[in-house]
A and B are shown apart, each in its own frame.
Chain A
Amino acid sequence: MPKKLKNALSLKTLQQIKTEFPIHDWSEEELNELVSPKYGVITGFEEILNDIQEIAGQDLADIEPSGNIKTEEG
């Protein structure tokens, strides 16, 4: 099972990714919201990553990604 993040996610890490990956041009303020959220909409990215790591510990066997809701007739 993947382990909990050892170090707090830093703005520097996200900025580094921004310079090395082909992604949109996020500002420092936008990236900072991921590290120290203040708008009241999202929890910090670090908390989400830790949750993801915990979820990753669950064996989902051969369950497929979700699609449409199936009726009784399929």
Chain B
Amino acid sequence: MTTDELTSKPLYSLADLLQRRVVSPVELIDAFLNQIEKTNDTLHAYITIARKTARQAAKEAEIQIQKGNYQGSLHGIPYACKDLFSTKNILTTGGSRVLADWIPEEDAKAISCLSAAGGILLGKLNQHEFAYGATGKNEHFGTVTNPWDHSRLAGGSSSGSAAAVAAGLASYALGTDTGGSTRAPAALCGVVGFKPTYGLISTKGIIPYCWSLDHVGIFSKTVQDAAIVFEYLTDRVKPGRHRSQKSNFQFNQTPLDDMRKVRIGVPRTFFFDRMDEEIHEAVKKAIMLCGQCKAELIDIDMPPMEKTRTVSLVIQLPEMLSYHSRYLPEKKDLYGKDLCAGMALGQFILAEHYIRAKRMVEWYRMKMEESFKQVDLIITPSCPIIAPKIDSDFIEWGDKKEPVGNAITRYTSFFNMTGHPAISIPCGIHSSGLPMGVQLVGHHFDENTLLKVAHVLENSLKVVFSEKPS
């Protein structure tokens, strides 16, 4: 099998090839390393490539699998993570010069989970500096380009994670999501981006951006792949077994053929205002397909959304400043200009403002509990725009200008405050050739329904990209 063939396959398919010994872990790791070698100079997806340790781990996996000790779906599968995750003995920069030489002594909890499952870390992925900002622009390590059009942004902050999975530089990837930093770049790059319920996957060992809103995110080619990784990250699978018998998450055991008995809420306001017309049409088509799959579609009211971005920022910026105050006295000059301005803004937010914002979040959660009494899921666009040009700082809507970062996360950041699990899946290809995404949001801790319905929708949408991104 060629490098292109191997690196474009979904995780579940690669796992099958490894288990049946059609492909060896070393062949697989070499295919991904070749792909990285070919395209990383253009994409800037990786900050650090862990060639030596990855090949060594692949050799060990090969020996184990040949001995008949296949550990499960992630055994021998190459993946990568955002450079915000601590990795033992591997440079961890957070996408910043501030940590240009930091070698952690321990892995983040999520990395430990994947290592225990036999996952092989290919390297550390580029990002918006310290997860601040949704554009993925990075003046220190280069801005990650969109694999579908190198003159455009991949989105952020987990820009490298989205681009790496889209371009076949990793089978799957980990990112974080504080305002949409997994779902939005996933939508812009044409891959699946999934953030489970707040707190469900440990953030231990991940450089914080905003403790109150940080989630771990999973990037993958398919919903099924995201479900596999999710199971391992929640400690629901023990090494050597495919699935814990105790798990109530049974993605493969009872798949849905359709969406019968599933109630899907369609927000009446906010989520369809000021957006690209083709994305609007694509999402309408996705909603119609849900109806054709026998889901009950219900128009729902959401809490007032106009100020939600401000509420989120009023929490994000002071928390970011609080964390980085440990570095500011000595290393302030090493931070990017946009990040410094964000921290400065955090400095001027009053304590009363911060507390009020946290109370607003609780109010949003209470309001959403009411909305979720009527429905099992909510459907919205993932992002109101296609991937913007790299040099664009604002999006113009008639006579109004919206900062690019605000536009990218306009439909996602609310669900970081409410903590609901949410997933973005590709829902079509824009006339510009760029991907578009649709977002599904579930009840707290009901990733089961969310992923199963997302899987049915993914199969119904049949989004097929005519060309492979590079």
Chain A residues within CB distance 8 Å of chain B? 14, 17, 23-27, 29-31, 33-34, 37-43, 45, 47-48, 51-52, 54-56, 58, 60, 63-66, 68-69, 71
Contacts and interface: CB of A to CB of B under 8 A. Distances in A.
Interface of B: 132-135, 197-199, 212, 307, 310-311, 313-314, 321, 325, 328, 332, 337-338, 340-345, 347-348, 353, 355-363, 365-366, 392-394, 403-406, 417, 419, 444-445
For the complex of A and B, 7 pairs with smallest distance between CB atoms: A40-B393, A65-B358, A33-B341, A51-B310, A66-B361, A39-B338, A66-B362
Q: What does DSSP make chain B's interface, helix, strand, loop or mixed?
A: helix
Contact of B393 (A23, A39, A56, A64): A39
A22 B354 CA distance: 19
Contacts, number: 116
A16 B157 CA distance: 33
A63 B199 contact: no
21 contacts: A24-B328, A24-B332, A26-B347, A33-B341, A34-B345, A39-B393, A40-B392, A40-B404, A41-B341, A41-B342, A42-B313, A48-B313, A55-B356, A55-B357, A60-B363, A64-B359, A64-B362, A65-B355, A65-B358, A68-B198, A69-B445
Contacts of B365: 66, 69
A2 B302 CA distance: 25
B340 A26 contact: yes
Contacts of A47: 310
Nearest to A43: B403
A25 B356 CA distance: 27
A17 B355 contact: no
B358 A66 contact: yes
Nearest to A14: B348
A45 B344 CA distance: 10
Contacts of A68: 198-199
Contact of B363 (A29, A34, A51, A63): A63
Given A52-B314, A54-B307, A65 B340 contact: no
B157 to A, nearest CB: 10
A68 to B, nearest CB: 5
Contact of A41 (B198, B338, B347, B363): B338
B415 to A, nearest CB: 12
Contacts of B353: 52
B368 to A, nearest CB: 11
Contacts of B405: 40-42
A71 B444 CA distance: 8
Given A23-B347, A30-B341, A43-B403, A65 B199 contact: no
A60 B359 contact: yes
A43 B406 contact: yes
A66 to B, nearest CB: 4
Contacts of B311: 55
Contacts of B366: 63
